[in-house]
Amino acid sequence: MSLPAMAAKHPNLVINQQDVADMKQAIAQPGAFQDAFNATLERVDQGLTQTIEVPVPQDAGGGYTHEKHKSNYQQMYDTGIIYQLTGEQKYAQYVKNMLLQYAKLYPTLPLHPKRKSSNEGKLFWQGLNEAVWLVHTIQAYDFIYDALTPAERNSIETGAIIPVALFLSEQSPRTFNKVHNHGTWATAAVGMSGYVLDKPLWVERALYDLNLAKKGGFMRQLDELFSPDGYYNEGPYYQRYALMPFVTFAKAIEQNEPQRKIFQYRDGILLKAITSSVELSYNKLLFPLNDAINSKGIDTIELVHGIAIAYGQNPDPRLLDIAQQQDNILLTGDGLKVAQGLDKQLRQPYPFVSSLYRDGQQGDHGALVVMRQGGKTDQAMVFKATAQGLGHGHFDKLTWQFYDKGNEIVSDYGAARFLNIEAKFGGGYLPENNSWAKQTIAHNTLVVDEQSHFNGKLKTANQHHPKLAFYASQQDLTIASASIDTAYDDVAFARTLALVNIKQRNAVIGIDIMRVSANKPHQYDLPVHYQGQLIDTNFERQASLNQLSALGQHNGYQHLWLLATANLATLNTVNPLAKVTWLNDNGRFYTLSTLVNANSVQNSREKMLFTQLGANDPNMNLRQQQAFIHRVNATNHTFVSVIEPHGEYNPSKEYTLGATSMVAELTHHQQAELEAIEIRFSDDQQYLLAINHSSDTVTERTQSVININGQQYQFNGRAQLFGPISTIQTNESNNSK
């Protein structure tokens, strides 16, 4: 198959000739685009003063030759763009000279001396880096193509481009065909090279796998690596990383073969992947789920490219809201469109709303649920009912997070890693990432008998996933429910989370119902990893004063210091409620109120444990995260909790308001597939959340009736909040029976 005439134009990958013309105009005028150009120009000019160095590969990731080849490809790319925008030969010459050196070196190279066991490279220890090199280098080559003589092109292609492309494809078939981020980079590199070198077979292979059998390749990756909602199963941190080769190659495909309509493919899956990446964030930081560095934000370079490319496809002014927060103008045609959109003040607020992101290729491997109330720095609740997420996944089925007033309140640890800090285990994942961060106890979900889900075995974990029972969202109430019975042999658990705006109280609360069932008794731990300073509990705690011991010995428990214990049997009222209040840096108080099993008065094994991370951490690799853990011994048990933001602590202005929780009583009702939580506040206002768990189809027209205290509550759909409820009415109903 021959390519259309467009292929003969250069550049024509991510940037085309019209883009160059538009950008040349833009850089002549003062503004953000000119500033971005000047910044890159300065960097590029600085690079021109230094001797070109293309060293024989020796070092692993982070080492000298590795970093040099990385900075080389970046420099070639930037210098190539500057050549296009200025027309000055010295820039083309710089890129040419470097490429010629690569053309001389590459054919001589064996496999890298420090190569990894799988996905090997030559320039780099990993083929992954080689592919990233080629994605940049082929664009640089495309930029200077017209400045080269045919002989120079021949040298560069023969010595560098073709050998690298063949190495990444024919000579690395497993990686090339892999439906995985490594495969995406490889296919992107080879496919883009195919466009520039006019090798249509390379493009076909990149799209459909080495043998064109469609068992791998870019299209298959688009099919499998994203759920129908654009969710990438390894989680948000890796999703944004994986996005880069996807959007880059897609843009090149769109430029060269628009008839493929790649951005419409699979119902616009690429654009969904971009926007969901942005939405899996709070106050500009990505949700730190699975292996993730918790300071990674939506301004990460991959999302800058993603947003620009998405805007180029469809100039939705809400994308400009994200672009503005990213504050990073790209020197591309799409980057220019974004800059112009911002200059013209077209920006509209990006809607951060409650959303469901199904997991799995068919969307039936659980889901990530994001609940929001108010504005983008008001309340958000994350409910992770997803599949494992492969090697970077954590053993954290049905865990949750809570955000409010700009901060993480109930938190996810993310990964134990100090990126690129040599002294911290070479800058890679620390041993504590396995021994702590992946373990279930590090998350806000059920731990049975101090064992992690799936016994901490990745292979088992990859084979199972939770079942999303339902998700429903209205203006003031979002609710979801999911369950899993494969995380433990004898234990099944189902969690229902709801984010509720109680308008009459000008208050938002979160409700958490964790139902655990088994055939024999177990120890159930339900942690809450909180951010802030502990203020109060409504029960006494026995603190370890002079000595601390680790809470346990395995599966993450060995890393927890036990600061204090509380015997919840001391709360001997009818519906005992254990309350823990903490104060976050955002100046707001948070109270978690949780039902205590009334039987535990006799049982007296129900406890609240207060812990701090740091035991068995000889290298001080872990942060001093505090948590409280609700521990129950039972066969079947339902944990019912409410998280309640309240009050304000303003020491600078010297006032404190509302430091005390107003949740006075919780009552839980279960009637077949209907469930209700009654909440009485300390001013005697009462509310009731009614829930329909039916496994039948439930729509907004489905009616249910639940009878509580002689009062009938009729509601539509999955859930409804009633209240304030008059207690007098209830008594009258009782009396009139």
Determine contact, residues 334/340, Cβ cutoff 8 Å.
no
The reply on whether position 664 binds a second copy by CB under 8 A is no
Residue closer to a second copy by CB (options 153, 424) is: 424
Select from 9, 114, 318, 424 the one that contacts a second copy (CB under 8 A). 424
Catalytic one of 238, 311, 429, 471: 238
240: exposed, middle or buried (Cβ count in 10 Å: 0-12, 13-18, 19+): buried
Q: Take residue 117 and report the two structure tokens written for it.
A: 């066991």
Provide the minimum distance between the beta carbon of 424 and a second copy in the complex, in angstroms, as a whole number: 6
The reply on whether position 73 binds a second copy by CB under 8 A is no
Provide the minimum distance between the beta carbon of 620 and a second copy in the complex, in angstroms, as a whole number: 4
Task: Let me know if 238 is a catalytic residue.
Answer: yes
Residue closer to a second copy by CB (options 548, 601) is: 548
The reply on whether position 563 binds a second copy by CB under 8 A is yes
Select from 55, 363, 427, 710 the one that contacts a second copy (CB under 8 A). 427
Q: Read off the amino acid at residue 183.
A: G
Provide the minimum distance between the beta carbon of 641 and a second copy in the complex, in angstroms, as a whole number: 20
The reply on whether position 155 binds a second copy by CB under 8 A is no
Q: Which residue has the tokens 């050998």?
A: 163
The reply on whether position 615 binds a second copy by CB under 8 A is yes
Q: Which residue has the tokens 């903490």?
A: 582
Stretch that binds a second copy, among 112-120, 620-628, 679-687, 705-713 (CB under 8 A): 620-628
Task: Give the CA distances from residue 720 to residues 379, 475, 498, in Å, rounded to whole numbers and listed in that order.
Answer: 19, 11, 11
Q: Is the peptide bond prior to 11 cis by the omega test (within 30 degrees of 0)? A: yes
Interface pattern 518-537 for a second copy (x via CB under 8 A): ---------------xxxx-
Select from 116, 541, 668, 669 the one that contacts a second copy (CB under 8 A). 541
Q: What is the largest CA-CA distance in the chain?
A: 100
Provide the minimum distance between the beta carbon of 292 and a second copy in the complex, in angstroms, as a whole number: 10
The reply on whether position 660 binds a second copy by CB under 8 A is yes
Give the residue from 480, 471, 580, 485 showing the smallest Cα distance to 526. 580
Q: How many CA atoms lie within 13 A of 508 on its CB side?
A: 20
Residue closer to a second copy by CB (options 499, 560) is: 560
Select from 296, 372, 453, 718 the one that contacts a second copy (CB under 8 A). 296
Give the residue from 595, 287, 629, 280 showing the smallest Cα distance to 442. 629
Provide the minimum distance between the beta carbon of 564 and a second copy in the complex, in angstroms, as a whole number: 7
Residues 565-604 touching a second copy, rule: CB under 8 A, are 581, 583
The reply on whether position 420 binds a second copy by CB under 8 A is yes
Determine contact, residues 411/601, Cβ cutoff 8 Å.
no
The reply on whether position 198 binds a second copy by CB under 8 A is no
The reply on whether position 652 binds a second copy by CB under 8 A is yes
Provide the minimum distance between the beta carbon of 612 and a second copy in the complex, in angstroms, as a whole number: 7
Distance CA 251, CA 12 (A): 10
Q: Take residue 678 and report the two structure tokens written for it.
A: 């009654």
Task: Let me know if 392 is a catalytic residue.
Answer: yes
Select from 117, 655, 695, 699 the one that contacts a second copy (CB under 8 A). 655
The reply on whether position 124 binds a second copy by CB under 8 A is no
DSSP line for 142-185: HHHGGGS-HHHHHHHIIIIIHHHHHHHTTT-HHHHT-SSHHHHH
**Ramachandran bin of 220, using left for φ above 0, alpha for ψ from -120 to 50, beta for the remaining angles:** alpha
Catalytic one of 69, 392, 453, 637: 392
Distance CA 687, CA 679 (A): 5
Give the residue from 100, 123, 107, 141 showing the smallest Cα distance to 15. 141
The reply on whether position 610 binds a second copy by CB under 8 A is yes
Phi, psi (5° rounding) for residue 81? -65, -45
Provide the minimum distance between the beta carbon of 636 and a second copy in the complex, in angstroms, as a whole number: 33
Q: Take residue 306 and report the two structure tokens written for it.
A: 């993603």
The reply on whether position 93 binds a second copy by CB under 8 A is no
The reply on whether position 469 binds a second copy by CB under 8 A is no
Give the interface with a second copy as residue ranges (CB under 8 A): 293, 295-297, 299-301, 418-424, 427, 533-536, 541, 543, 545-550, 558, 561, 563-564, 581, 583, 610, 612, 614-620, 623-624, 626, 649, 651-656, 659-660
Active site residues: 238, 392
